[in-house]
Amino acid sequence: MENRAPGILVTWINKTTELMRKPKNDTVLRVNEETLLLPFLIAKLGGMTRTSAKLLLSHRQVLINRTVQTRHDTPLHVGDEVTILTGKGNIELKHPKLKIIYEDDHLIVVDKKEGLLTVAAQPGSAEMTVFSILKNYVRKQNPRNGIFVVHRLDRETSGVLVFAKSPELQHYMRDYWRQLVTKRTYIAVVEGEMDEPKGTIRSWFTEDKKNAVVYSSPVDDGGDLAITHYETISSSEHEGQIYSLLELHLETGRTNQIRVHLASKGHPVVGDRKYGHGNETSPIDRLCLHAKVLEFIHPATEQVVHFESPVPKTFRILVKG
């Protein structure tokens, strides 16, 4: 991988491993042949019944290579390490607006619903955020555990977010975000139809932090270059208005990039109160922007990991097909 920060991986892996160290009486099993998780557990745990094995899974007490697994049909490969946790198992996060889709010693990847901030806008705020929910979650497992913001989604944008479990990893992922991320895909419903069904939007962004707004210029005015690729999936009419469902890929990651770019083309994201040219209402009562795919190189394993959140069903109310 290009531009890797020398030595930083050893630092944060050692620190996180110390914080997350397994109790000595956990059961650790090594996989010697290809199989599925449930029959492996039944065979290795002294004639355990299928029901008991499934209870271990539902209680989040089974880890494969230090990652929690709950599916009984998870494939196992030669060399995998299966750990059975003692006690009551890992605490399960249950929240109507947040779901954990992946967790290991280093990262937590979540699927966020609209209406939830990533992190509080003002320091000391008591508002519930993704950060505050996850902080409580990891500290219930160990009071010394922490959670650290790598990137953000707007309050009304739903989809995939990743958090780090150490400040070293947080800084590493932020500094090398462009080198780590291999794919980042959004889905949006916009007003009208794009002039070209597929294309690239390039402009230069200037952020007015005082008024919390971003301005776009088609020529280099000293701002930051922003590049968004889009493709129309479908268009249709709903209650007299034409809407289009777009798939978007970010080449850069500027503040409000998709919203600003689409508004600059005269096709704002439905429900965008900031950049919607006065069209603040949404027939489905939300901003129609969703972070569908986040794919990146895992800093610990150096393997590409892919996470995906399904397109909200409500988007199909506006755009059929």
Backbone angles phi, psi at 311, to 5 degrees: -65, 130
Mean pLDDT calculated for residue range 157-184: 95
Asked whether the beta carbons of 293 and 160 are under 8 A apart, the reply is: yes
pLDDT grade, residue 194 (50/70/90)? very high
The answer to whether residues 257 and 308 belong to one domain is: yes
Count of domains observed in the chain: 3
207 inside domain: yes
Task: Give the CATH number for residue 165.
Answer: 3.30.2350.10
Distance between CA 162 and CA 111 in Å, rounded? Answer: 9
Which of these ranges, 11-15, 139-143, 156-160, has the smallest mean pLDDT?
11-15
The answer to whether residues 109 and 70 belong to one domain is: no
Distance between CA 225 and CA 205 in Å, rounded? Answer: 6
The answer to whether residues 164 and 193 belong to one domain is: no
Distance between CA 114 and CA 154 in Å, rounded? Answer: 8
pLDDT tens, position by position, 81-103? 998 876 545 567 888 999 988 88
Residues in contact with 124: Cβ distance below 8 Å, sequence separation at least 6, in sequence order? none
Question: Which pLDDT score, from 0 to 100, does residue 222 have?
Answer: 93
Mean pLDDT calculated for residue range 203-215: 90
Q: pLDDT at residue 11 above 60?
A: no
Phi/psi region, residue 138 (left: phi>0; alpha: psi -120 to 50; beta: rest), is alpha
Range ranked top by mean pLDDT from 65-69, 122-126, 224-228, 238-242? 224-228
Among the three residues 153, 175, 197, which one is the final residue of a domain in this structure?
A: 175
Local structure of 13: helix, strand or coil:
helix
Asked whether the whole model's pTM tops 0.85, one would answer: no
Share of the chain above pLDDT 90, in %: 59
Backbone angles phi, psi at 289, to 5 degrees: -135, 130
Local structure of 1: helix, strand or coil:
coil
The answer to whether residues 108 and 122 belong to one domain is: yes
Among the three residues 57, 84, 111, which one is the final residue of a domain in this structure?
A: 84
Range of the domain at 231: 181-295+299-318
Q: b vs e for 236-267, b when ≥16 Cβ sit within 10 Å of the residue's Cβ?
A: eeeeeeebbbbbbebeeebbbbbbbbbbbbeb
Residues taking part in catalysis? 154
pLDDT grade, residue 17 (50/70/90)? very low
* Residue that the structure tokens 């590049």 belong to: 227
Share of the chain above pLDDT 70, in %: 88
The answer to whether residues 225 and 312 belong to one domain is: yes
Among the three residues 84, 114, 132, which one is the final residue of a domain in this structure?
A: 84
